């Protein structure tokens, strides 16, 4: 069943209040990830000015920073790393250097099939978290989506573009579990919901992130919610009123 | 000279990461499949235990347990002394094709079909309710990939990936994991080369299914997925029975 909404966007102030904490928390992850991206960009710039090839092995220099993202945001960021634009490196046409957080057995590196000829080819260039920063030059909060590649959970991915000398070289990013985001949002959303009509938070493409009613569940799509665009420094999410409670 | 580490395509196929705490049976299944699929050749010497364990991301204890099982299955032979090590013993061709099927009872096959139908039909229905336009594009790409795949192993993987994507489109990590588990269990059977499975008929089913998802027609999507799985199950049951007629 596709949920229908009867009322439009909530007042902007309600929206900001609800999102203040989560915006700040995700903002901190974006800042951490931006440090990783800056380090990668510096590597690319150094290689360019020194006329040296940029190699896969050079990425090892980023790992302490990636590790820092995971420890600094422990329990919130489930994975982090950099994903290179095709041909950004000289010795690998495509490259993912992504690590998942310690799950008892130490941090682990993600391995995926990046051979376009393979049946299991993972084409990251088509993902929202890669495509959007590449297109807009802005950070992006993609999802929620089922990440069967890395976290195996319902996930958001924050990503920032990496640009060297006006050339897009890839994204730095981190995975955030949708459950953690919902945990932060639900108390406030429920308070709002109690005040009157149900409150539903949707992503820019209409996917429900959190809701104060069991009649509109996370993961479903609010078809009539329209779209919202990402404003710098703000999450591309919208608080909208749910259907009027049944009489 | 020690045998080289397994490299490139075979390594990628074999060594996609196991879930944390990868268990011996997962390793056993993966190696057994690799042998049956011919990724590891008859007589080939496996890398040293510590090296292989490292590549698979498991402890040597876990690997030894898996190798012991493979020895009892007759798929690995261990020789002691100089020039010793673990060697692949590939079953002969007929055996290679039939063995996975022979291991299953009709009841077992039917049960797998029931399980697949439950997962795939629910995933299809929910995907039709919850898909965004971008999801449809992804599904079509994967359907196309299957159409273009020629080797059986590639078809199996592309087919699995498409069904996993449908479950992901349903926004359910659990259904997605269920599809992944089912396909790692039965993927080889679905694309068993004994009776050339028609890639065009599978592709037609998939196209209709994606059409229904795109049209946001949950019931139609559910029905198509259920019939698709039922047809595959029937074919496997027929094949299983035919092993006794010959």
Nearest C-alpha in B relative to A105: B20
Tokens 């009841």 locate to B107
* Euclidean distance between CA atoms B231 and A28, whole angstroms: 51
Give pLDDT, residue A128. Answer: 93
* Euclidean distance between CA atoms A180 and A157, whole angstroms: 13
Q: What is the mean pLDDT of residues B215-219?
A: 98
The angle at the Cα of B164, spanning B145 to A103, to the nearest 5 degrees, equals 125
Decide which of 3.40.50.2020, 3.30.450.20, 3.40.50.970, 3.30.360.10 is the CATH code for A26-177.
Answer: 3.30.450.20
Give pLDDT, residue B3. Answer: 42
DSSP secondary structure letter of residue A118: S
CB contact under 8 A, B132 and A206: yes
CB contact under 8 A, A148 and B132: no
Nearest C-alpha in B relative to A219: B171
Chain B CB contacts of A103 under 8 Å are 20
The angle at the Cα of B138, spanning A115 to A146, to the nearest 5 degrees, equals 90
Of A30 and B27, the structure prediction assigns the larger pLDDT to A30
Q: Quick: pLDDT tens for A65-79.
A: 999 999 999 999 999
Q: Quick: pLDDT tens for B53-79.
A: 888 888 888 888 889 888 877 788 888
For testing contact with chain A, the best of B151, B173, B214 (most A CBs within 10 A): B173
Count Cβ atoms below 10 Å from residue A226 Cβ, excluding itself. 14
* pTM, two decimal places: 0.76
CB contact under 8 A, A219 and B154: no
Q: Which of A105, A113, A207 is the closest to B132 by Cβ?
A: A207
Which domains are present in chain B? Answer: 8-91 (1.10.10.10), 95-245 (1.20.120.530)
CB contact under 8 A, A221 and B129: yes
Q: Quick: pLDDT tens for A197-241.
A: 788 899 988 899 999 999 999 999 987 644 443 443 578 888 887
CB contact under 8 A, B141 and A126: yes
Residues of A in CB contact (< 8 Å) with B are: 1-2, 103-105, 108, 110-113, 115, 118-121, 123, 126, 128, 144-146, 148, 152-154, 205-207, 219-221
What value of ipTM does the predicted structure carry?
0.83
- Per DSSP, the three-state class of B198 is coil
Q: Quick: pLDDT tens for B90-122.
A: 766 556 667 778 888 999 999 999 999 999 999
Length of chain B equals 246
Q: Quick: pLDDT tens for A99-150.
A: 998 766 667 889 888 988 777 788 999 999 999 999 999 999 999 999 998 8
Q: What is the mean pLDDT of residues A173-177?
A: 97
- Which two tokens mark B134? 């971008």
From chain B residues 198-227, the ones with a CB under 8 A of any chain A CB are: 216
The angle at the Cα of A4, spanning A202 to B117, to the nearest 5 degrees, equals 85
Are the C-beta atoms of residues A41 and A164 closer than 8 Å to each other? yes
CB contact under 8 A, B130 and A152: no
CB contact under 8 A, B12 and A128: no
Q: Which of B17, B134, B161 is the closest to A111 by Cβ?
A: B17
CB contact under 8 A, A148 and B155: no
Q: Closest approach of chain A CAs to the CA of B242, in angstroms?
A: 31
Determine which helix (DSSP H) or strand (DSSP E) holds A20, and give its type and residue range. Answer: helix A12-49
- Asked if pLDDT for residue B182 goes beyond 90, the answer is yes
Give pLDDT, residue A230. Answer: 40
**Percent above pLDDT 90 for chain B:** 38
Q: Closest approach of chain B CAs to the CA of A29, in angstroms?
A: 24
Give pLDDT, residue B197. Answer: 62
β A108-109/A140-146 pair status: unpaired
Instruction: Show me where the domains of chain A are located.
Output: 12-19+180-241, 26-177
- Which two tokens mark B96? 């290679």
Q: What is the mean pLDDT of residues A17-41?
A: 93
């Amino acid at each position: 069943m596709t949920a229908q909404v009867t009322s439009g966007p909530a007042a902007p102030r309600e929206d900001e209040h609800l999102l203040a904490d989560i915006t700040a928390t995700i903002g901190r992850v974006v800042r951490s990830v931006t440090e990783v991206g800056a380090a990668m960009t510096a590597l690319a710039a150094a290689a360019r000015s020194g006329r040296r090839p940029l190699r896969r092995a050079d990425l090892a220099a980023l790992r302490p920073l990636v590790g820092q993202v995971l420890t600094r945001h422990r329990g919130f960021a489930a994975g982090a790393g950099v994903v290179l634009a095709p041909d950004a490196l000289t010795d690998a046409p495509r490259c993912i250097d992504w690590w998942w957080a310690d799950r008892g057995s130490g941090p682990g590196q993600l391995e995926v099939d990046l051979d376009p000829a393979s049946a299991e080819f993972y084409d990251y260039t088509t993902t929202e978290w890669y495509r959007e920063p590449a297109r807009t030059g802005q950070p992006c909060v993609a999802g929620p989506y089922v990440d069967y590649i890395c976290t195996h959970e319902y996930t958001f991915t924050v990503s920032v573009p990496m640009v060297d000398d006006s050339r897009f070289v890839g994204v730095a990013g981190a995975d955030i579990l949708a459950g953690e985001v919902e945990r932060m949002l639900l108390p406030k959303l429920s308070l709002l919901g109690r005040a009157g009509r149900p409150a539903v938070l949707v992503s820019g493409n209409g996917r429900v992130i959190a809701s104060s009613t069991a009649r509109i569940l996370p993961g479903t799509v609010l078809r009539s919610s329209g779209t919202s665009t990402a404003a710098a420094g703000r999450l591309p999410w919208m608080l909208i009123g749910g259907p009027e409670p049944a009489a | 000279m020690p045998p080289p580490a397994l490299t490139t395509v075979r390594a990628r196929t074999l060594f996609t990461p196991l879930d944390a705490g990868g268990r011996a049976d997962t390793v056993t299944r993966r190696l057994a499949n690799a042998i049956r699929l011919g990724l590891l050749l008859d007589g080939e010497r496996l890398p040293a235990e510590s090296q292989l364990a490292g590549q698979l991301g498991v402890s040597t204890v876990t690997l030894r347990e898996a190798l012991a099982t493979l020895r009892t299955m007759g798929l690995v032979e261990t020789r002691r002394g100089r020039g010793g090590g673990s060697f692949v013993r590939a079953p002969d061709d007929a055996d290679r094709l039939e063995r996975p099927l022979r291991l299953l009872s009709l009841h077992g096959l039917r049960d797998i079909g029931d399980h697949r139908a439950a997962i795939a039909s629910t995933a299809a229905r929910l995907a039709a309710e919850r898909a965004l336009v971008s999801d449809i594009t992804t599904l079509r790409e994967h359907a196309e990939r299957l159409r273009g795949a020629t080797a059986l192993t590639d078809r199996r993987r592309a087919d699995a990936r498409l069904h996993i994507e449908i479950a992901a489109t349903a926004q359910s990590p659990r259904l997605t994991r269920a599809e992944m588990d089912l396909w790692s269990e039965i993927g080889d059977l679905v694309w068993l080369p004994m009776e050339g499975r028609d890639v065009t008929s599978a592709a037609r089913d998939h196209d209709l299914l994606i059409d229904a998802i795109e049209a946001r027609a949950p019931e139609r999507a559910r029905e198509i997925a259920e019939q698709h799985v039922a047809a595959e199950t029937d074919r496997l049951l027929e094949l299983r029975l035919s092993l006794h007629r010959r």
